[in-house]
Structure 1
Amino acid sequence: MKVSKHFLVTGGAGFLGSHLCEKLLDQGHEVLCVDNFYTGQKDNIIKLMDNPYFETMRHDITFPLYVETDNIFNLACPASPIHYQFDPVQTTKTSVHGAINMLGLAKRVKAKIFQASTSEVYGDPECHPQPEGYWGNVNPVGLRACYDEGKRCAETLFFDYHRQHGLKIKVARIFNTYGPKMALNDGRVVSNFIIQSLQNQPITIYGDGSQTRSFCYVDDLIDAFIKTMESADEFTGPVNLGNPKEFSIRELAETIIDMTGSSSKLEFKPLPENDPCQRRPDISLARDVLKWEPSTPLEQGLKPTIAYFDKILSNR
């Protein structure tokens, strides 16, 4: 098998990172997975270890990294509220210092670099759906600010390095994504509902369940990552990547209860601070430039996701 390019994936043992590493290897590339294993899991990449074109390195990107590579996917950062609020200072450092260190590496080795940004840069949006030109409605001193503002600052750094140093950058704003390899304890709505349903526990809904989200299956998102990285150099983004089909949180819960045959009941709790009421991407730019849009309906993507968690819970 001919190796065509070398890729560095930070956060490569995480949910999205491990799927990306696997896809890049399948395409015949060489991959260096860098992770400090704060939220990443060795189980996510264990089956890749025997591939001679795969290498893993334990490293925290808040410290400089000296390696050689052609392309960098910067995915490192805890992405669920439970994890990023546990150590908010470290979360901000991962986004900001991590961006500086990876951009410095890209500058030194003349690599193209991709930043995994987030729909959280829009905060609790005042326009719907959210286009890339919307500047957001973020509380800079709230509990979520360590993640929201950290990612916003990272975007600033990417575009300043692009303008000042001519770096080849790609910035993608990721909306809610789900699929196998999500962590059991990450506190995200899809994994929470599946785990509670499989154990016939009450389904915890914050607020009245009318708040909306859009859910993109992981395979669709990884396809978008690759298309973004392969796009023309003049296309920098930011570009929204997600599924534009919108569901209420209550609809999601009822769908999962039905698919798992669960006896779980809905349990309502107060809405957390600054939790967005609506979240749906405008993906017109991705459709136009990347020729991409998600193709996996929610129930089709939930089947392997439910099977994944069912297997984990059975093994425990």
Structure 2
Amino acid sequence: MTRWSVFLRLLLALAVAGGAVLLAVYRDRFDPALIEQAIVAIEPWAPLAHVLLFTIATVLFVPGAIVGLVGGVLFGPVWGTLFNLVGATLGATAAFLTARYIASDWVRRKAGGRLQRLITGVEEEGWRFVAFARLVPLFPFNLLNYAFGLTRIRLLHYVIASLVCMFPGTLAYTWLAYAGREALAGHDTAIRYGLIALALLAAIAFAPRIIRRIRSRMPFRWMDAAELSGEIDHLQPTIIDVRGADEFVGPLGHIPGARNVPVGELPRRLHELSAVRDRPIVLVCRTDKRSASAAALLHDAGFRDLRVLRGGMEQWDRHGFNIADRNAPVAA
């Protein structure tokens, strides 16, 4: 890394930190009415200005609700939702990239011990963790954007999961702001818009319970790499690696004792597994997508004690586990 690139990164980090401090000190002066007037004054560039303002506000830790309310009031429930969502997504992406390439040390200090739990969750769940965090915020929104930048998740996966899963909340708050404007204007539609917004907020509040219920109905249970390594001696599972044969001996290797039954061949090779139908079965692939599909196939075929290695061989290798020298059998 050249001195120029180091200087540039330091300069950008100081600009972000300085801007956030100034906004925190003078946050009482950020009146939504004044922001609304400023945006309206630059018609026809108001939508672009709003999106840009939302993006900058997200990077500088300004509460998104302030700018989001302005979007609902100025542009209505439909266009306001669109502009708010675009601005929030661009801001979340900018903060993500800032943390990944510029201000990682500052973000680590700011997030504290909770950061490691988030990183672990993203390493194991990938975009699904991002989706869950957007639907059910685990961190303050602005800090969460930076924290995700410290994980290994791909930028495209992060952006798509954020865009899709921020939509319900953005829609609810935008419609709520528009309902408030209609109420102040004395329009009868305010009640309808307000009820829609409250219904969306209620759905978001119940999202954790719904997600837990869906997970409880999965035909398998997740198993972490550390858990499998610690329990493999007494659990005595049959480990089935459902990757292709070339991947089974590829750079990620395989867990010693595992059987290789590619997921595409599984339906016609079920007879080979009849002897282990009543034993614990751990399914493994590169990550865990094919393993989950294989678990559903086995469950439909009558297998019941099914586990999926969360994160697959990538997670196993990342933790550096080695069970080659164990005497306990790991496959039947």
Query: Same fold by TM-score, threshold 0.5 exceeded?
Result: no
In proportion to residue count, which structure has more strand?
Answer: 1
TM-score (norm 2): 0.24
TM-score (norm 1): 0.25
Look at both structures and tell me which one has the larger radius of gyration over its CA atoms: 2
In proportion to residue count, which structure has more helix?
Answer: 2
User: Structure with the greater relative contact order (CA < 8 A, sep ≥ 6): 1 or 2?
Assistant: 1
